[in-house]
Chains A and B, each alone.
Chain A
């Protein structure tokens, strides 16, 4: 099994099987849906801000997709709670990739980044800031 450990290390499978922050926030301050048309991964992200309107108080996500997309989004929800919206909206993708901690082929990179890209879109939409061009660098990512 060791040859697969690199690909699907225990923590990825754990997040996939027991996703953190899974659910919907009915009164979300920020939300967006993203999908990866290559493999049909879908993620919806919901964010609630603290009273200061800037600190991310709670993040939830729903969706379906491969282990990489769902586990990465689950990990992301743990990473961003308590941080400022502005900071997360400009978060470097390497921060998430380091946490995921497995080598990803270009196709799987799109799966891994789906949650973060969708979250960034939600935050930019809520703040009324323009979406950076080529957000996260995926021209094939479809965001609605």
Chain B
């Protein structure tokens, strides 16, 4: 695989950019400044080629097929599983379950563990910084089982306030603590290690939403000491429609399945069905084979660029963006200082709704996200209906941030 850079220390976003066909176009006659990678990343041709190659040379349904193509497809799927085991430094590839996205992975844990293990008097603890995908499933299963959902509040600078954790646990038994590693709305890098330690002191399991962390920093499920971790492929240069749920073997073994049907069984009789081994027990139906191949290629791509280098690059961009944006009159910036945030900057312009901001920016070739970012509890806390969010990735260059700032001046002119 020809890669633009393999330098461990620093990445060259201009060279990497050439791997992404999407940047070979103008939008509304302007160069494309794509500042919405936190929603979904763009795709390098190496990943696209890996998927095409699989479809063109090795495609057939996996498992059980006894012919050559089925064997090749099975091998490709299981190679992808092993690749993601390495990506996460998981002990065993059988713990790597392919799901549709982080949302499905988190729902899998909520239904297949939460629903079976929660009861009245139990507590589920989430944070005010969660994406709806790591908030609503817990609220739903807690409600169904008569358990209570409690929320770790936001403190200063868009960072969690952990000072009241023990109070939060009062009057109940904490069974589940669920938090993200990086906030999709504010870019806050959360103190997950402290939350994990606290969860385990309480005898609870810790579920980590790594959707926003996986593209931008090295993950190690053993070092993190989490019990479950979910990620989405599409945010890390992979295709849409695939993600990974990693879970501890001992927990996965004792769990009932989430989805049932084909492939996940050992034997089916009219009166009784028994489940297959891990990971198959949790992978009902035809697997997202080509997507798994694409995800493995995406893992190759981001690791070749260097996850440490990506993280450093994004810190630099965040610092530059916060500096430049602070110049714009009437701007409010949300979230922590650059050294404690990923490449995400949320802001509002006084008196101008984010949708109006985003629409005028679009005409200048600048793509940002405007809305509640699937974080309505957080928006309520900030006292706003919505924010603008610019987010960066390995292909982002400072000129795109300049284009954003110039665009914001134009927005102010329209609404002057």
Contact flags B351-368 to A (C-beta < 8 A → 1, else 0): 011111001100100000
Find out whether the CB atom of B371 lies under 8 angstroms from the CB atom of A39. Answer: yes
| B194 located at the interface, meaning its Cβ lies under 8 Å from any Cβ of chain A in the complex | no
Cβ-defined contact, A65 with B385, below 8 A: yes
Interface residue range, chain B = 10 to 19
Task: Given A64-B385, A65-B385, check contact A39 B415 (CB 8 Å).
Answer: no
A83 / chain B contacts, CB cutoff of 8 Å: none
B414/A1 in contact, CB under 8 A:
yes
The smallest beta-carbon distance between B366 and chain A, in angstroms, is 13
Choice from A1, A7, A65 contacting B359 with Cβ under 8 Å: A7
Hey, which chain A residues are within 8 Å of B415, CB to CB?
A: 8, 13, 67
Cβ distance B362 to chain A, nearest Cβ, rounded Å: 9
Would you call B410 and A4 a contact (CB within 8 A)? yes
CA distance A67 to B355 in the complex (A): 8
Does A38 interact with chain B (Cβ within 8 Å)?
yes
Q: B386 contacts A40, CB within 8 Å?
A: yes
Contacts of A8 in B (CB 8 A): 356, 360, 414-415
Count of A interface residues, CB-CB < 8 Å: 20
Q: Decide if A41 is an interface residue (CB 8 Å cutoff).
A: yes
Q: Is the pair B354, A39 in contact by a Cβ cutoff of 8 Å?
A: yes
State how many angstroms separate the Cβ of B371 from the closest Cβ of chain A: 5
Q: Is the CB of A1 within 8 A of B372?
A: no
Closest chain-B Cβ to A36's Cβ sits at a distance in Å of 10
Please indicate the chain A residues that have their CB under 8 angstroms from the CB of B370 in the complex. Answer: 39
Contact A7 B371 (CB under 8 A): no
Residue A68 lies at the interface, judged by CB distance under 8 Å to chain B: yes
Q: Are B386 and A39 in contact (CB under 8 A)?
A: yes
Give the shortest distance, in Å, between B304 (CB) and chain A (any CB). 36
A111–B359 Cα gap in the complex (Å)? 13
In the complex, what residue of chain A is closest to B379 when comparing beta carbons?
A40
Say if the beta carbon of B413 comes within 8 Å of chain A.
yes
Closest to B351 in A: A17
Q: Which of A3, A4, A39 contacts B385 (CB 8 A)?
A: A39
Contact among B354, B371, B410, B414 for A13, CB-based, below 8 A: B414
CA distance in complex: A37, B415 (Å): 24
Instruction: Considering the complex, give the chain B residue whose CB is closest to the CB of A5.
Output: B414
| A3→B370 CA distance, assembly (Å) | 21
A79 is an interface residue with CB less than 8 A from chain B: no
Chain B nearest Cβ from A77, distance in angstroms = 19
Q: Which of B353, B360, B379 contacts A65 (CB 8 A)?
A: B353
Task: Find the A residue at minimum CB distance from B415.
Answer: A13
Q: Flag whether A125 is at the interface (Cβ < 8 A).
A: no
Contact of B355 among A1, A4, A42, A108 (CB under 8 A): A108
Q: When each residue 11-49 of chain A gets 1 if its CB lies under 8 Å from chain B and 0 otherwise, what string results?
A: 001000000000000000000000001111110000000
Kindly provide the distance from the CB of B179 to the nearest chain A CB, expressed in whole angstroms: 24
Nearest-Cβ distance from residue B41 to partner chain A, whole angstroms? 21
Tell whether, in the assembled complex, residue B363 and residue A4 are in contact, meaning their CB atoms are under 8 Å apart: yes
Contacts of A68 in B (CB 8 A): 355-356
Tell me if A66 counts as interface (CB < 8 A to partner B): yes
Assess the B353–A66 pair: CB atoms within 8 A.
yes
A64 / chain B contacts, CB cutoff of 8 Å: 385
Closest 8 CB pairs of A and B: A40-B385, A66-B353, A66-B355, A40-B386, A67-B356, A39-B355, A66-B356, A4-B414
Q: List 15 A-B contacts (CB under 8 A).
A: A1-B413, A1-B414, A3-B363, A4-B360, A4-B414, A13-B414, A39-B353, A39-B355, A39-B386, A65-B385, A66-B353, A67-B353, A67-B415, A68-B355, A108-B359
B interface list, Cβ under 8 A from A: 28, 352-356, 359-360, 363, 370-372, 379, 385-386, 410, 413-415
Known: A4-B410, A40-B379, A108-B355. 6 other contacts (CB 8 A): A8-B360, A39-B385, A40-B371, A40-B372, A65-B353, A66-B354
